[in-house]
Amino acid sequence: MPVDTFEKVYLPNIERGETEWLEEYRKQGGYEATRMALEMAPEKIVEVVKDSGLRGRGGAGFPAGMKWSFLPKGVYPRYLTVNADESEPGTCKDRPLMEQRPHTLIDGIICTCLAIESELAFIYIRGEYYNSADIMQKAVDEAYEAGLLGDDVLGSGRKVHVVVHSGAGAYICGEETALLTSLEGYRGYPKLKPPFPAVSGLYGKPTIINNVETIVSVPFILTKGAEWFKSFTHERSTGLRLYSVSGHVNKPGVYELPMTVTLREMIYDYCGGIRNGHDLKFVIPGGSSVPWLLPDQLDTVMSMEGVQAAGSFLGSAAVMVLDHTVCPVWAVTNLGAFYRHESCGQCTPCREGAAWMHKILLRLENGQGTMEDLDTLASIAGDGTPNTGMISGRSICALGDAAAWPVGSALKLFREEFEEHVKLGHCPYKNKRYWMADGKFVNETFEHHPAWGH
Amino acid sequence: MPSERLRTLPILGDRIGEIEQICAKYPERRSAILPVLWIAQKQEGWISEDAMKEVAEVVGVTAAEVYEVVSFYTMFHQHPVGRHHIALCKTLSCAVCGAHEVSAYIREKYGFDAGKSISRDGRFSIEEVECIGACTEAPAMLVGEKLHGDLTPKSIDDVLGKLD
């Protein structure tokens, strides 16, 4: 593990896994940002956040301060919604943030509410995060008791209320318009944009939606300054970032790093390299939705611009690392099942496209596919870049693109292996054994289990 | 004040006070539909048609609208489950770290007949679900409301063996 020359601020003690309750947060100078924000004009807070270059940490990377300035003037009430529906496969950094730094999030919510002149904020937490919701609710209760939340924030006469709201299992609700529809008490169907939520969002009112990590960044930016935030910069990506690294690295985990880090440093220096000395097969650099990277792209800088230059997206900074035992056809079939299940079913290209892609992938992986299937698959999925194939760019929300890109990308990068499945009539990776060593499950390759539906 | 009638509802009746507090947090009452469904599921372990009718009455929508919502969200059970419900992640990061073996192990050791999701003794139910956000501690599962990661045969037995 390299010696870091920077101070970790988001999750400095992640391995301890302790919750920082109000008393402890205050000892560390907590809610200083709220005190500063109460003294500042709303436009000034927006200005500082704009100046920091903070971009959304949920996936799209939209500049946060600019989003806030899209609110129509003089229209109230306005709502803030914190997107804690962390569901992009590979991503699990908002959970430790909520479970370990709940008051930093509330501090950020108050600052953001003051900036955008909102008196009511919602934290929409995915249903599976029972513990995060419990901890956030307890922290919110503490904040109310301490007069940090309520009708008179720290005696300032300003109102900020926070509601903790649990989802119930739907990937699509991480999409901002679907999240709002769900919060209104409906099926989580996305809506066409425009109008953007900043103009017409929750209950038709101007609404700002930001990811947990984005909101948690705000107190640090206010107390440490925009210049501090910009001291970690690669092109237009500023600040430290939480990377969730999973899969076949020796030390998977959530790593707080400047976005100047390369993929090689991340995997081999921080995460201890690939398990059992295996070779790297491919990397999914930004959550399951993004195109894949190959071992010859290890020098990719893990910033938004760096990953884009390599032909993919940083997305939610969820890095999935797969070694040479992983069949790429099997892997993309696994993801195909995910998108087929999670498509909300509202619009045709995604609902039908995700299902057909998965059906064809299953056929190919099971050795019953044909060469024609590969062409059909490519015609649906495209080549892993935006607006290619029959789904990407044609659906109401980005889930369509998310379903198509990994398939198009896998087909482009591993065409020969797809063809091998057809020629052999079975998956070349199949029929090896699993074994258990040291009481830990180890799988050298994959076998299909009836319980998994494929 | 909630009407006396709501207090007599067989499933939600004794939770009406709490439900009214929840409803009051939202600018529009319909937003409480998910939290009230969570309470209904806690009361019975799953969400029956009777429960949906009660939720409809409490929130002020039709039963059809409640069904529309229930059937959209995968965590709402429309059928009875075991005394302890296991949601085992099957998405890529967990799948490449042994989720298949975890599934096979639990299903064999804890008495599940092939293709069934409830164990023979009704003690457990299992569902292989999409990503539960525990990718860095794969393979992972939720047992009830509690997350367990880095699963091994021993850790699985430690968790499941203690449950009645």
With a CB-CB cutoff of 8 Å, which residues 7-66 of chain B face chain A? 25-28, 30-35, 37-38, 59, 61
> Token pair for residue A322?
């797969």
| Of B30, B135, B137, Cβ closest to residue A184 | B30
Beta-carbon pairs below 8 A across chains A and B: 183
Q: Is residue A269 part of a domain?
A: yes
Per-residue pLDDT at A433: 38
* CB contact (8 A) between residue B142 and residue A130: yes
Residue B125 in contact with residue B81, Cβ under 8 Å? yes
Give percent of chain B above pLDDT 90.
Answer: 87
Per-residue pLDDT at B104: 87
Q: How far is A119 from chain B (nearest CA, A)?
A: 12
Reported as a single tens digit per residue, the pLDDT across A399-420 is 999 999 999 999 999 999 999 9
Asked whether residue A361 carries a pLDDT value surpassing 80, the answer given is: yes
* Set of chain B residues whose Cβ sits within 8 Å of the Cβ of A443: 96-98, 100-101
Span A347-359, average pLDDT: 96
Q: Is residue A6 part of a domain?
A: no
Q: Residue A454: how many CB atoms within 10 A of its CB?
A: 16
* CB contact (8 A) between residue B101 and residue A443: yes
ipTM of this model? 0.97
Same domain, A209 and A279: no
Q: How far is A27 from chain B (nearest CA, A)?
A: 30
Residues in chain B: 164
Give the angle subtended at the CA of B45 by the CAs of B43 and B51, to the nearest 5°.
60
Residue A165 in contact with residue A125, Cβ under 8 Å? yes
Supply the mean pLDDT for chain A: 93
User: Which CATH topology does B84-161 take?
Assistant: Glutaredoxin (3.40.30)
Q: Residue B145: how many CB atoms within 10 A of its CB?
A: 13
Residue A21 in contact with residue A94, Cβ under 8 Å? no
3-state helix, strand, coil in chain B (%, to 5): 50, 10, 40
Q: Is residue A449 part of a domain?
A: no
Per-residue pLDDT at B2: 58
Same domain, A283 and A152: no
* Set of chain A residues whose Cβ sits within 8 Å of the Cβ of B28: 184-185, 203
| CATH code (residue A370) | 1.20.1440.230
| Of B96, B102, B104, Cβ closest to residue A326 | B96
**Per-residue pLDDT band at A430 (split at 50, 70, 90):** low
* CB contact (8 A) between residue B59 and residue A246: no
Q: Is residue A4 part of a domain?
A: no
Which of B37, B72, B146 to probe the A interface (max A CBs under 10 A)? B72
* Set of chain A residues whose Cβ sits within 8 Å of the Cβ of B154: 439
- Find the closest chain B residue to A449 by CA distance: B100
Same domain, A165 and A306: no
Distance of CA B44 to the CA centre of its chain: 10
Asked whether residue A452 carries a pLDDT value surpassing 60, the answer given is: no
| CATH code (residue A310) | 3.10.20.600
Same domain, A137 and A109: yes
Same domain, A55 and A139: yes
Same domain, A68 and A216: yes
Asked whether residue B158 carries a pLDDT value surpassing 50, the answer given is: yes
| Of B37, B128, B152, Cβ closest to residue A451 | B128
Residue tagged 């292989």 (tokens): B128
Residue B100 in contact with residue A449, Cβ under 8 Å? yes
* Set of chain B residues whose Cβ sits within 8 Å of the Cβ of A183: 31
| CATH code (residue A31) | 3.40.50.11540
- Find the closest chain A residue to B65 by CA distance: A186
CATH 1.10.10.1590, domain B4-70, yes or no: yes
Note whether B76 contacts A: Cβ–Cβ < 8 A: yes
* Range among A62-71, A320-329, A439-448 with highest mean pLDDT value: A62-71
Per-residue pLDDT at A443: 47
Per-residue pLDDT at B100: 84
Span B35-61, average pLDDT: 97
Asked whether residue B48 carries a pLDDT value surpassing 80, the answer given is: yes
CA dist A65 and A152 (Å) reads 25
Residue A68 in contact with residue A116, Cβ under 8 Å? yes
* CB contact (8 A) between residue B95 and residue A334: yes
* Set of chain B residues whose Cβ sits within 8 Å of the Cβ of A127: 38, 73, 75
Helices within A122-169 (DSSP H only): 130-145
Same domain, A20 and A110: yes
Same domain, A316 and A423: no
Q: How far is B5 from chain A (nearest CA, A)?
A: 23
Q: Is residue A451 part of a domain?
A: no
In the listed set A323, A348, A376, which residue is the last one of a domain according to the structure? A323
Per-residue pLDDT at A444: 45
* CB contact (8 A) between residue A246 and residue B93: yes
Reported as a single tens digit per residue, the pLDDT across A110-149 is 999 999 999 999 999 999 999 999 999 999 999 999 999 9
Q: Where are the domains of chain B?
A: 4-70, 84-161
Same domain, A200 and A146: yes
Q: How far is A337 from chain B (nearest CA, A)?
A: 9
> Token pair for residue A190?
């996305």
Same domain, A43 and A133: yes
Do the strands A207-211 and A79-84 form a parallel or antiparallel pair, or are they unpaired? parallel
Same domain, A219 and A73: yes
> Token pair for residue A442?
């180890």
Q: Is residue A9 part of a domain?
A: no
Where in the sequence is the domain holding A46, given as residue range(s)? Answer: 14-230
CA dist A375 and B1 (Å) reads 63
* CB contact (8 A) between residue A90 and residue B93: yes
* Set of chain A residues whose Cβ sits within 8 Å of the Cβ of B124: none
Asked whether residue A450 carries a pLDDT value surpassing 70, the answer given is: no
* Set of chain A residues whose Cβ sits within 8 Å of the Cβ of B142: 128, 130
Q: Is residue A8 part of a domain?
A: no
Reported as a single tens digit per residue, the pLDDT across A246-266 is 999 999 999 999 999 999 999
* CB contact (8 A) between residue A253 and residue B136: yes
A345 torsion bin: left (phi>0), alpha (psi -120 to 50), beta (else)? left
Reported as a single tens digit per residue, the pLDDT across B6-29 is 999 999 999 999 999 999 999 999
* Set of chain B residues whose Cβ sits within 8 Å of the Cβ of A254: 136
- Find the closest chain A residue to B105 by CA distance: A441
Same domain, A87 and A208: yes
* Range among A165-179, B1-15, B103-117 with highest mean pLDDT value: A165-179
Q: Could you tell me the CA-to-CA distances from B47 to A192, B25, B50, B54, B60 in Å, in that order?
A: 32, 24, 8, 10, 18
- Find the closest chain A residue to B71 by CA distance: A187
| Of B31, B138, B154, Cβ closest to residue A184 | B31
Which of B85, B130, B150 to probe the A interface (max A CBs under 10 A)? B130
Q: How far is A112 from chain B (nearest CA, A)?
A: 20
Is residue A422 packed enough to be buried (19+ CB in 10 Å), middle (13-18) or exposed (0-12)? Answer: middle
Asked whether residue A437 carries a pLDDT value surpassing 80, the answer given is: no
* CB contact (8 A) between residue A128 and residue B132: yes
Per-residue pLDDT at A448: 45
Reported as a single tens digit per residue, the pLDDT across A194-231 is 999 999 999 999 999 999 999 999 999 999 999 999 99
* Set of chain A residues whose Cβ sits within 8 Å of the Cβ of B26: 163
> Token pair for residue A205?
């009112």
Asked whether residue A78 carries a pLDDT value surpassing 60, the answer given is: yes
Span B64-73, average pLDDT: 98
The number of distinct structural domains making up chain A is: 3
